[in-house]
Amino acid sequence: MGRMSDLMMAGVVVLIIALIVIPLSPFILDILIALNFSMALLIMLVSMYTLEPLHFSVFPTLLLMATLFRLAINIAVTRDILLNGYAGSMINSFGHFVIGGNIVVGIVVFFIIVIVQFVVITSGANRVAEVAARFTLDAMPGKQMSIDADLNSGLITEDQARKRRKEVEQEADFYGAMDGASKFVKGDAIAAILVVFINLLGGFAVGVFQKGMPFSTAMQTYCLLTIGAGLITQIPALLISTATGVIVTRAASEANLGTDLSSQLMRQPQALKIGGAIITLIGLVPGLPKLPFLLLGIGVLVLGFMIKAPAPETEEVALPEPTAPEEDAVGLVHVDPMEVELGYDLIPMVDPGSGSDFMDRVVLVRRQIALELGMVVPPIRVRDNIALLPEEYRLKIRGSVVAKSELRLNGYLALNPGTGGEVLPGLETTEPAFGLPATWIERDLYDTAMATGYTVVDPTSVMLTHLTEVIRKHAAELLTRQDTQSLLDMVKDENPVAVEELVPTLLTVGDVQRVLQALLTERVSVRDMVTIVEVLGDRAKMTKDIGLLTEYVRQAMARNLSQQHATEEGTLLVLTMDPALEQKIVESVHQVDGDLVMGMDPELTERFINDLAAEVEKVANMGHQPVLVCSSSVRRFVRKLTERILSRLAVLSYEELDDDVDVKPLGMVGAANTG
């Protein structure tokens, strides 16, 4: 049926054209009239069982096709009536049986149906569709911003946001289409009246002037056929009009129309009791028929006493269910992976209603981290906190504050990259992401600061840069086992053998997570998961030491590591370590509870750190960021020594230097500290 649906729709269009231009036999007309009636009934029933309008989004188009089909039948019937004085047994039955052969009764019934359809149902549905379309279109921007806010605050995923955006667009399209489609029903009712008058006049003219019928015979024959044809097409039209009204007045629900009506009407037993008593009393009024009112009144009373009133909300609060406290507790202990807390004055900076693009830029930050580090940053919840200073913000990871600073929304942050001229008036501060000296300046000093060589940053960019740097620094903490499993599943889609060989045969998901966390701690991208999985699959057969496995992975990613730290010209500026110092580090390494730890002399460690810091500062003053290079046997231990004092210093092993990169040594560290 699904495969043939396109052919069936094409067949319907051809059928409508055929009805208009090709004379049909009375038997075929009977079938088409029955089809029209059945289709209208089915549309009516489907509309009643539809839970929300978008579940029947094809209705506007279906309404157009049904209206055209019915008008085409009208044309075909008119042609047969005027040519043959007969248009099938279906119309003949309606003309004689339904209205008893009485022309006056038929005309009255016909016009009542048309009036009910045109004045009551069609006009009301048309107005509701028009208002719904207007309000739906007006509400679209707000709904889109609400979806973006929910996405950026972590309430929904990107897939859910995409689905909700699509639903908003479909809803606007649906109500816009319904606003126009309801005009079809209105036009159909007007056309029905005109067709009846045309058929009456045409039939009378054909019967009297062409066929020589007596006036009374022509009137009797053609009036009955015309009224029968009008009734047999207007009853389906009435059903379609009612379906239109049901669709446009139907709100989203979890049940069909009948279930909603019964549940909501029966929700007030007291009203049923009072209503039943009043209906019973009406039956006791002298002169009125007693039996109908008494039966209905007693029935409603019995129904009212049978239904139990729902417990008021105050009773639920006073006597809560045993599971309620537990459910509340579950919500309270939930910790968001990452949060941004804002002081009161900073709320406009993130409010989409104030024209802020902060939420959109947070999405860009998450995408940037995904491209840079190869991990998906969890949704970032943004909320206000009245306990903070008005212009303060805090960045939290799993409930703990990891960074905080203050912003000035009415100014700019000016940083002197060494090319700044005059000192700018303003509030001296420290740039939060990199700890650089900076100044908050007034907005009217923007052009002056730019002209004198300062780097000027708006408050939103300041916080987003800080947020990005915090994510980079704490990426390892944000990577969960579930995230690791998702990365493995991604590899498994393209390279199932590598994953199945590694997990769980050689390593657990937790082991792989620890390797990835070790890489992320040093800001090494884990995007190339295929290489990581294959290296672990090869090396895990020989060792289960996570530190050693991480070194093997790093060596396999030598090209990426070298290019990551090289200059734009492709040169890697390095500081090397004295081999004697490396030997002392190797000798100080010993095993504790299965892990390798370093226990080098504290004085030697201090001298090494001071010497290294001095060399790094010397190179930094030259405008470069050096890389410390050492042997692979001590690289991870040297990194442990430097990560607290020189956290931004990259430490590479010789095996991690790519052959295509030009290495330029700038000095040696530790040569004077090994004695």
pLDDT tens for residues 344-400? 999 999 888 778 888 888 888 999 999 999 998 988 999 999 899 999 999 999 999
H helical segments located in 403-540: 446-451, 459-473, 475-478, 481-494, 496-502, 509-521, 529-539
Amino acid at 468: T
Please report, for the chain, the start and end positions of each structural domain, with discontinuous segments joined by +. Answer: 24-118+183-261, 267-306, 338-473, 479-556, 558-675
Instruction: Indicate whether 139 pLDDT > 90.
Output: no
pLDDT digits (tens, 9 = 90+) for 596-639: 788 888 888 888 889 999 988 888 888 788 899 999 989 999 99
Percent residues over pLDDT 70 in the chain: 81
With H, G, I as helix, E, B as strand and everything else as coil, classify residue 332: helix
Q: Which residue matches tokens 């009245």?
A: 386
- Main-chain phi, psi angles of 575, to 5 degrees: -110, 135
Query: For residues 536 and 491, what is the distance between their CA atoms, to the nearest angstrom?
Result: 13
What is the CATH code for 479-556?
1.10.8.540
pLDDT digits (tens, 9 = 90+) for 617-626: 888 888 788 8
What whole-number distance in Å separates Cα of residue 486 and Cα of residue 470? 23
CATH 3.20.20.10 fits 558-675, yes or no: no
Can you give the pLDDT at residue 65? 82
Q: For residues 103 and 316, which has the higher predicted lDDT (pLDDT)?
A: 103
> What is the C-alpha to C-alpha distance for residues 582 and 673, in angstroms, rounded to an integer?
11
Dist CA 129 CA 137 (whole Å): 12
DSSP per residue, 371-382:
HHHS--PPPEEE
Q: Which residues of 23-35 are buried (b: 16+ CB within 10 A; e: fewer)?
A: ebebeebbebbee
Main-chain phi, psi angles of 428, to 5 degrees: -70, 140
Whether the predicted model's global pTM rises above the 0.75 cut: no
Q: Under CATH, which number does the domain 338-473 receive?
A: 3.40.30.60
Q: Answer whether residue 323 shows pLDDT above 50.
A: no
